Amino acid sequence: MATSYKTPGVYIEEISKFPPSVAEVETAIPVFIGYTEKAGLANAPLPTITINPGGGDVAVSEAKRIESLLEYITYFGTGPTEHLTISISETFTGGAAVYSKLVSRSITASVVTPSIHTMYYHMQLYFTNGGGPCYIISVGKTTEGSVTKNNLLAGLEMAKRYDEPTLTVFPQAAKLSTADDAYNIYSQALLQAATLQDRFVVMDCYNDDTDTLRNAASLTDNLKYGAAYHPFLRSAVSYKYNLTDESSLTITLQQDLNNDGNFTDAGEPAVTKTYASLNAEQKTLVKVEIDKLGVVLPPCAAMVGVYANVDNLRGVWKAPANVGLQMVNGLTKLVNAVDQAALNVDPVAGKSINVIRAFTGKGILVWGARTLAGNDNEWRYINVRRFCIMVEISSKLASGTFVFEPNDANTWAKVQGMLENFLTLQWRAGALQGAKPSDAFYVAVGLNRTMTAQDILEGRMIVEIGMAVVRPAEFIILRFSQMMAKS
């Protein structure tokens, strides 16, 4: 409607010449659900909400968005101090009276019982492998003696209240008392992802056993919204320890004073020491041995870090595979090509499990990019599922501008142009395959195309988008033949 001017003078009208556009949503914002040392600052704890997922009330902290490991430590602390046992054996020459020359020394360190509360260790792997902004939902304190299904489900219910997270992770699901509990939680997470259609679940095999996942009766639906990884990682993350706390550190010193190879002489008893009583060299070597004790962790947190890194460097359409893992020294199991074949393709249950493998000269690589729906030709690959989620949510948010606009050809043209421009940018980035945009995607909207007259009368504007998403070259086949010599 034209503006009515009544007072003589000069008026300025700003005319918009740019069409509406689609803003690409973030694709790698994980939400970590688990137990933390604290939740908030000393003078400003995070608000909590009581949630009952079916097994009793749980006080769950509101999700906190963080962007670094330092910020995690500030708001959520670290974790329990581990109880370590140190054994020092030393051999001297010259007898008890003059044992001034050290011949040999060996030091061994071990963790008595590793803590079940590993969130802090997981966060180190996440940020080291490229992770960025994320959400933390604390469902309990690290002083609690067990990880429970009810608490983690309460955290999952809390996660539903937030729109930004695109990845759901349970770093401590492997610490639950049974495999059924773990896979029931994953099943609920997959259901939530399918309902909201804006997130993806990254999971681990309970107890590092792939058979438990394959045989999980609760894990049968919505498999295209999740992926599983195997085996566990021997990380370079050091256990949390306190060298001045005698209750969490047991040091035994055994000396062979007469170099006879016998450490059990009556005159050479084993002595319990404190760290403070050791000499400078012993202290240094003890710390070295403790730091060698890398924490064994499920791969989920490291993998969402890889997702974030690949998304930032290439795009969500790139498969998060053939990527090296950082801060990982080894694997709990070495999987070869034959072993992986059975995990990659499951003709019975259809549950593909992605493998992490060690390659000579290459390091430890992620060597799989399939969703759990490995037999689904449409949603077999992680990057296809996550790219489509991104396009769906981005298009949905951008289309909100047209709610209550006239449902006519002018509006349809604007919507179609907006979405086509967005998909053209994705095609140019390499996300869609085709020699030209029309081969890579289509956007259809309009009467007798996607809508009937009844649809328009009922206030519905229906837009149809088709895309040819790039799929990874999972199997590269090289064919060679010998030619006869030509004269």
Instruction: Write the CATH number for 302.
Output: 3.40.50.11780
User: What is residue 146's predicted lDDT score, i.e. its pLDDT?
Assistant: 94
User: What is residue 171's predicted lDDT score, i.e. its pLDDT?
Assistant: 96
> pLDDT tier at 13 (50, 70, 90 boundaries)?
confident
- Tell me, yes or no, whether 10 lies in a domain: no
Helices within 357-445 (DSSP H only)? 382-399, 409-429, 437-440
User: What is residue 480's predicted lDDT score, i.e. its pLDDT?
Assistant: 66
User: What is residue 187's predicted lDDT score, i.e. its pLDDT?
Assistant: 97
Using CA atoms, how far residue 379 sits from 27, 352, 439, in Å, is 17, 12, 20
Q: Please say if the pLDDT value at position 95 is more than 90.
A: no
pLDDT tens track for 211-240: 999 999 889 999 999 999 999 999 999 999
275 shares a domain with 215:
no
User: What is residue 179's predicted lDDT score, i.e. its pLDDT?
Assistant: 95
- Tell me, yes or no, whether 6 lies in a domain: no
The DSSP secondary structure of 45-108, one letter per residue, reads: EPPEEEE-SSSS-EEEEPPEEE-SHHHHHHHH---PPP-EEEEEEEEEESTTTT--EEEEEEEE
Handedness of CA 55, 58, 63, 68 (dihedral sign): negative
Domain encompassing residue 256: 84-113+240-289
| pLDDT more than 70, % of the chain | 93
pLDDT tens track for 339-354: 999 898 888 878 999 9
Distance CA 133, CA 25 (A): 14
Residue ending a domain, among 350, 383, 416, is: 383
What would the mean pLDDT of 103-123 be, rounded to a whole number?
A: 91
- Tell me, yes or no, whether 194 lies in a domain: yes
323 shares a domain with 341:
yes
> pLDDT tier at 355 (50, 70, 90 boundaries)?
very high
Distance CA 266, CA 288 (A): 31
66 shares a domain with 124:
yes
Residue ending a domain, among 327, 353, 383, is: 383
Q: Torsions phi, psi of 92, nearest 5?
A: -120, 165
User: What is residue 99's predicted lDDT score, i.e. its pLDDT?
Assistant: 47
Contact call for residues 205 and 228 (beta carbons, < 8 A): yes
pLDDT tens track for 178-213: 999 999 999 999 999 999 999 999 999 999 999 999
User: What is residue 317's predicted lDDT score, i.e. its pLDDT?
Assistant: 95
pLDDT tens track for 295-330: 999 999 999 999 999 999 999 999 999 999 999 999
252 shares a domain with 168:
no
302 shares a domain with 268:
no
pLDDT tens track for 47-57: 999 999 988 99
224 shares a domain with 340:
yes
349 shares a domain with 314:
yes
69 shares a domain with 41:
yes
226 shares a domain with 284:
no
261 shares a domain with 217:
no
The whole-chain average pLDDT of the chain stands at: 90
Q: Please say if the pLDDT value at position 102 is more than 80.
A: no
Q: Please say if the pLDDT value at position 266 is more than 50.
A: no
- Tell me, yes or no, whether 16 lies in a domain: no
User: What is residue 94's predicted lDDT score, i.e. its pLDDT?
Assistant: 61
To the question of pTM greater than 0.75 for the whole model, the response is yes
447 shares a domain with 423:
yes
User: What is residue 103's predicted lDDT score, i.e. its pLDDT?
Assistant: 79
Residue with tokens 């051999």: 91
- Tell me, yes or no, whether 22 lies in a domain: no
The total of structural domains in the chain comes to 3
Using CA atoms, how far residue 78 sits from 35, 37, 39, 72, 304, in Å, is 11, 6, 11, 8, 20
- Tell me, yes or no, whether 356 lies in a domain: yes
71 shares a domain with 35:
yes
Distance CA 44, CA 361 (A): 49
Contact call for residues 386 and 413 (beta carbons, < 8 A): no
- Tell me, yes or no, whether 487 lies in a domain: no
Closest CA to 199 of 33, 445, 429: 33
- CA 357 vs. chain centroid, Å, equals 17
Contact call for residues 356 and 231 (beta carbons, < 8 A): yes
Among the residue ranges 61-65, 311-315, 480-484, the one predicted with the least confidence is 480-484
- Tell me, yes or no, whether 7 lies in a domain: no
